[in-house]
Amino acid sequence: MNLRTPKRADLQSAAIDRSATPPRVDKDLPLLRFSRRCQRTLFTHEDFFQMRPPKKSPFPQKQGNTAPKAGGYYLYGFHAVLAALNNPQRKNKKLLVTGENASRPELLPFTGKIPVETCGKQDLERVLPMGAVHQGIALLTSPLEQLDLEVFLRDAPEHTALIVLDQVTDPHNVGAILRSSAAFGASAVVVQARHSPEESGTLAKAASGALENMPYISVTNITRALEYLKKEGFWCLGMDAEGSQNLATLKIPEKVALVYGAEGDGLRRLTKENCDVLVHVQTSGTFSSLNVSNAVAVGLYEVNRQKGVA
Nearest partner of 300 among 268, 265, 252, judged by Cα:
252
The residues spanned by each domain of the chain are: 73-141, 149-307
3-state secondary structure of 156: coil
Q: Looking at 121-169, which runs of residues are DSSP E strands? A: 137-141, 160-166
Q: Compute the chain's Rg from CA coordinates.
A: 31
pLDDT band at 260 (very low <50, low <70, confident <90, very high): very high
Q: Looking at the chain, which runs of residues are DSSP E strands? A: 32-36, 39-43, 73-76, 92-98, 116-119, 137-141, 160-166, 188-192, 216-219, 235-239, 245-246, 255-261, 277-280
Average pLDDT of every residue of the chain: 82
Instruction: Report the pLDDT averaged over residues 168-178.
Output: 96
Q: Fill in the amino acid letter for 16.
A: I
CA angle, 173 then 174 then 180, to 5°: 90
Is it the case that residue 49 has pLDDT exceeding 80?
no
Contact 122, 59 (CB under 8 A): no
Specify the CATH number of the domain 73-141. Answer: 3.30.1330
CA distance 295 to 259: 11
pLDDT band at 182 (very low <50, low <70, confident <90, very high): very high
CA distance 43 to 41: 6
Provide φ and ψ at 21, rounded to 5°: -70, 130
pLDDT value for 17: 53
- In this predicted model, what pLDDT tens digit does every residue of 137-162 receive, in sequence order? 999 999 999 999 999 999 888 789 99
pLDDT band at 32 (very low <50, low <70, confident <90, very high): very low
Is it the case that residue 56 has pLDDT exceeding 60?
no
Is it the case that residue 2 has pLDDT exceeding 60?
no
- In this predicted model, what pLDDT tens digit does every residue of 274-300 receive, in sequence order? 999 999 988 876 776 788 999 999 999
- In this predicted model, what pLDDT tens digit does every residue of 61-75 receive, in sequence order? 334 444 445 679 999
CATH fold of 149-307 reads Alpha/beta knot (3.40.1280)
pLDDT value for 102: 80
